[in-house]
Amino acid sequence: MMRRLQRVFAVAWGVVAAGAGLGFVARDLLGLPPGAVALAWTAGAVLVLAAMRRSSV
Amino acid sequence: MGWGSEQERGQATVEWVGLVLGVALALGAVVAGGREAAKGESSAGLGGAVAERITCAVRDGCGGERALGAPGGASRAPRAAPGAPRGPRAPRGGPRAPRAAPGRRPSPPPAARSAPALRRTSGGSPLLRGAGELAKHAWIACFGYRRWRYEVEHPRTPRQSVPVGDAVDMVNECLNPLSFFFG
């Protein structure tokens, strides 16, 4: 139970952190418009989800 | 403008310099101690290893036999030869190596870990994992960038702290997903 909970929180934090990372690059460093920033955030979240999914199978 | 300038801007107090040096010492000890503890059996040795490294740095000693990988040198300062007089710098009451408590089992060796755990750490494309790890750690740079921007926009002396509300705003702008979607 605790292991599953830990896994869920790790995935959630990874998604938020990766989305924030790419979002920061797009918004603050590149100065992209809001739509592109949202896309970058989603791309970061999907990237981490895919990496975690591949590494867990 | 001479040496007797009364402006405090850009000056650091002795306390701040000491605090920064202390933090740097602790972080260096964490890095060195963590590496030493990683060589050992369990993560329970991290505290002892860090304390030992700090003691070594203060005493300017402890030799290099552990760095060279001497066997059996787990978290112990070098001992004096039998019969030799104990010098004033003998490690009396210093940090000791963490011993396994009678009721506690030592952590299993890496070879005894479960197969799923090994699969989790070894699977996946290296490129994908690398990109994911890079994206996961880029948010830290956001804090530094926002803090720098804040410093440029709100110049202040070293004794003035950032208001809590502004700090929360920085965290919110860097981590809140809504700020990226609707900000």
Write the ipTM. 0.78
Q: Report chain B's terminal Cα–Cα distance, integer Å.
A: 45
Query: In sequence order, which ranges of chain B are alpha helices (DSSP H)?
Result: 14-39, 46-59, 115-122, 126-137, 139-153, 164-175, 177-182
Rounded CA separation B135/B140 (Å) = 10
Are A22 and B123 an interchain contact pair (Cβ–Cβ within 8 Å)? Answer: no
In terms of CA atoms, which chain A residue is nearest residue B117?
A56
Q: Which DSSP letter does residue A13 get?
A: H
Neighbours of A17 (CB within 10 A): 20
Are B180 and A54 an interchain contact pair (Cβ–Cβ within 8 Å)? Answer: no
Q: Which DSSP letter does residue B94 get?
A: -
* pTM exceeds 0.80: no
Model confidence over B117-131: pLDDT tens digits? 444 444 567 777 788
Can you read off the two tokens belonging to residue B22?
């202390």
Q: Look at the block and give the residue holding tokens 């009678």.
A: B102
Model confidence over B5-61: pLDDT tens digits? 556 666 667 777 788 888 888 787 766 666 665 565 555 666 777 677 777 776 766
How many CB pairs lie under 8 A apart between chains A and B?
A: 92
B144 at A interface, C-beta within 8 A: no
Contact B54, B60 (CB under 8 A): no
Residues sharing a CB contact under 8 Å with residue B55, sequence separation 6 or more, in sequence order: B62, B77, B91, B94, B95
Q: Which amino acid is at B128?
A: L
Contact B177, A16 (CB under 8 A): yes
Q: What is the mean pLDDT of residues B158-175?
A: 88
Rounded CA separation B95/B51 (Å) = 6
Are A52 and B139 an interchain contact pair (Cβ–Cβ within 8 Å)? Answer: no
